[in-house]
Amino acid sequence: MSQEPMKVTAEINATNPSRGFWSDAWRRYRRRPIGMLALGFVLFLTIVALFAPAIAGTKPVICSYKGKIYFPCLGYFNRSWESPIFTKDKFRGTYPKNLKQKDPESWAVWPLVFQDPYRRVRENEWPGRRENPSRDKGYPNRLNLFGTDQYGVDIFAKMVHGTTIALLVGFVSMGLAGSIGVIVGALGGYFGGWVDMITSRLTEIVMCVPTLVLILALIAVVEKPTIWKTMAIIGATGWTGIARLTRAEFLRLRQTEFVMAARATGAGSLRIMFRHILPNALAPVLVPITFGIASAILVEGSLSFLGFGPPPPTASWGSVLNSARSNLQLWWLVVFPGTGIFFTVLAYNLVGEGLQEATDPRLREAKK
């Protein structure tokens, strides 16, 4: 029977250039204007978070000092990224005057808004500018766009720098929760039996504990509550929903023929779980992660509001709200961070919803 190769042209169906699952989902996502708007807002926040020190700050974005180039604004991300030469030369955090005094040759590019999220801007710190108002005089004005708090610290600067925290909380804690949830769910769903028994019970136990109370208890135990520890705690308690969803997806997918086929080609359990099954389970798992980011931001906000958030030097939206708690007449302390949290959470929820509609095959069919 081994004559010349037979012709199989009959089988060829004209295919478009390959389009994968995700590019297909993206095409569908783009159709919803509200989802795109929300995604745009999230992107905007990300840009604000990344460039926060260049938007609002009192440290130059870039400056030349004694013949060298420095980026003092990076000190807002991490103290040690600010060159020690400025500490040695006794700048004490005020750059405009010191730069000119100590090196007349120097030049600097300043942030868009000369305001500091951590301290009050003093009289004449910026040539010809008066001191920030404090207490109930800090109405929003031309210099303090969102007003100042009772100590005279600019709210706009706090909000801008708080964006970093808000996004970090969302991504780090949900990244952690997502990893734990996916691993626990995958193990239970794939292996079944006693492994599933253990992971399911563990999930249920964690689910039973009221999250906020657990976080408060853990914060009480943890010695110095930094923002990173808060994120870790939010992540360590928020994985239950993801674990259950992953488990359900794995239970369904491990029965499929392509998993059997993968086993027949000699793939090991780990490979099957994370290379063959997980990509198929990812879409339904991503949706709760997106919603989780929103709720993590909310949890961080409420923790800070209750005063259990990161300690004072950290600027977070929740801590601005907290300072409003004792000064309710300063309405700008409530309105701006509150609106910020509201729209951020809303945007993430809309992105999650859009993702769900773009990837869920049942919703997809209904739309057609």
- Binding residues (CB under 8 A) for other proteins: these are 1-2, 5-6, 8-13, 15-16, 18-21, 192-193, 256-258, 260-268, 271, 275-276, 279-280
Q: Are 186 and 278 in contact (CB under 8 A)?
A: yes
User: Quick one: 244 or 254, whose CB is closer to other proteins?
Assistant: 254
Closest distance between other proteins and the C-beta of residue 148, in Å? 53
User: Quick one: 26 or 343, whose CB is closer to other proteins?
Assistant: 26
Rounded to whole angstroms, the Cα distance separating 337 from 341 reads: 6
User: Quick one: 52 or 272, whose CB is closer to other proteins?
Assistant: 272
Q: Are 56 and 113 in contact (CB under 8 A)?
A: yes
Closest distance between other proteins and the C-beta of residue 24, in Å? 10
Rounded to whole angstroms, the Cα distance separating 206 from 184 reads: 12
Rounded to whole angstroms, the Cα distance separating 350 from 342 reads: 12
Sign (positive or negative) of CA dihedral 201, 353, 213, 177: positive
Structure tokens at 90: 């006794």
User: Quick one: 112 or 261, whose CB is closer to other proteins?
Assistant: 261
Q: Return the C-alpha torsion angle 108, 113, 114, 117, nearest 10.
A: -120
User: Quick one: 218 or 286, whose CB is closer to other proteins?
Assistant: 286
Closest distance between other proteins and the C-beta of residue 257, in Å? 4
Closest distance between other proteins and the C-beta of residue 176, in Å? 25
Closest distance between other proteins and the C-beta of residue 3, in Å? 8
User: Quick one: 15 or 326, whose CB is closer to other proteins?
Assistant: 15
Rounded to whole angstroms, the Cα distance separating 290 from 276 reads: 23
User: Quick one: 29 or 70, whose CB is closer to other proteins?
Assistant: 29
DSSP string, 261-308: HHHHTT--HHHIIIIIIHHHHHHHHHHHHHHHHHHHHHHHHHHHHHT-
Rounded to whole angstroms, the Cα distance separating 231 from 217 reads: 15
Closest distance between other proteins and the C-beta of residue 10, in Å? 8
Closest distance between other proteins and the C-beta of residue 21, in Å? 6
